[in-house]
Amino acid sequence: RGDLEVRAPLVAGRVERAIVSGLEEYLVAEAPAVDAWIAGLADIDERIAVADDAARPGLEQVARLRENVARIRVAHPDDTGVLTVLLMNHLRLERGEAAYVRAGVLHAYLDGLGIEVMAASDNVLRGGLTEKHVDVDELLAVLDCTPGDEPRMAPVPAGEGVVLYAPDEPDFRLHRVAAERADARIALVGPGIALGLRGEATLVGALGEEAVLRRGEALYITPDTGELRVSGDGLDLVIASAGAPADVVLPH
């Protein structure tokens, strides 16, 4: 066991260096090289058919990657960034599920509709699949390629019909209120934004101010709101807010 504990970080370090090396090669590749790499995935179905039980799960994952690569290539036929998806974890989120992506981790959305909450930042770097400039050197300098667990985040019950998504950082958190008959109280720290997904909700702040939130509408919640009361029938809404603990004073 001692040997395993020592070797684990060494293996992780080698994997990280391999990912960085692969990204650098992919992002500066010419079109013929891209075609050749993708062509190498063509026989994956045949390889799955003859694989033993130990190898089959890994090959099936490669097959899913190939399908996603093909879909992305339709939208970005001449973008070498399409190869970066071969080095990324592919995650499917169902309605109500969430994932937390650390700063510095390359990520992309393939399709579907979701809500992204992020910390304030003016430092967004692109890694392909765009017509905008891709600064490969700067991207590789700040990229975090440390292997990690699946980033899926489980919600925490926070009241009747209320769940909380709270990453281990102070910048943000997300409440979801989903109930056929809701009457919830949510404590907020600092400002927030409420987005209606279903039904008509009545929102009342600690100072007594009241607003109605309907499907497709958004409301800005001021920093002095404090506790927010949410009521209504057939509701589904989310509230993104600052996630700082109570002893941290946020600027107004």
Residues serving a catalytic function are 126
Establish how many alpha carbons lie within 13 A of residue 42's alpha carbon, considering only the half-sphere containing its beta carbon: 6
Helices (H), 28-135: 31-39, 44-50, 56-75
Strand partners, 153: 98
Contact between 90 and 152 (Cβ < 8 Å): no
Q: Could you tell me which residues come within 8 angstroms of residue 110 by beta carbon, excluding any fewer than 6 positions away?
A: 68, 71, 72
CA separation for the pair 237, 178 (Å, rounded): 7
Kindly write down the DSSP assignment for every residue of 126-192, as one continuous string: --SSSSS---HHHHHHH---------EE--EE-STTEEEE--SSSS-EEEEEEEEEEEEEEE--S-E
Dihedral sign, Cα of residue 184, residue 164, residue 120, residue 246:
positive
Contact between 187 and 226 (Cβ < 8 Å): yes
Q: Angle at which helices 31-39 and 56-75 pack, to 10 degrees?
A: 140
DSSP state of 251: P
Tokens of 146: 């440390």
